[in-house]
Amino acid sequence: MSETTGSVRAVVAVPLSEEHCQLIEALEPRLEVVRDHGLYRPMRGPADWSGDPDRVRTSQEQAAFEALVDSADFLFGIPDVDPAALHRAVASNPGLRWVHTTAAGGGSQVKAAGLPEEALQRVAFTTSAGMHGGPLAEFAVFGVLAGAKSLPRLIAQQRGRVWTDRWEMKQLEEMTVLVVGLGGIGAECARRFKALGATVWGTTRSGEPVDGVDRLVPVDELARAAAEADALVVTLPGTEHTHHLVGHEVLGSIKPGAIVVNVGRGTVIDESALVPALESGRVSFAALDVFEVEPLPADSPLWGRDDVLISPHTAALNSQEEERIARLFAANASRLLDGQAMRNVVNTVEFY
Q: How far apart are CA 77 and CA 72, in angstroms?
A: 12
Of the candidates 234, 231, 200, 202, the residue with the CA atom closest to the CA atom of residue 219: 202
What's 246's DSSP letter?
Answer: B
Residue 244 appears among annotated catalytic residues:
no
Indicate the length of the chain as a whole number: 352
Query: In 10 A of CB 349, how many CB atoms?
Result: 9
d(CA 175, CA 285): 15
265, 292, 321, 322: which one is catalytic? 265
Exactly one of 221, 279, 294, 350 is catalytic; which is it? 294
Provide the phi-psi class of 204: left if phi over 0, else alpha when psi is between -120 and 50, else beta: beta
Q: What is the DSSP letter of 51?
A: -
Active site residue 57: no
Q: Is the dihedral of CA 19, 21, 22, 23 positive or negative?
A: positive
Nearest to 301 by CA among 271, 324, 331, 330: 271
Active site residue 279: no
Q: Catalytic one among 313, 324, 327, 335?
A: 313
Residues recognised as catalytic: 265, 294, 313
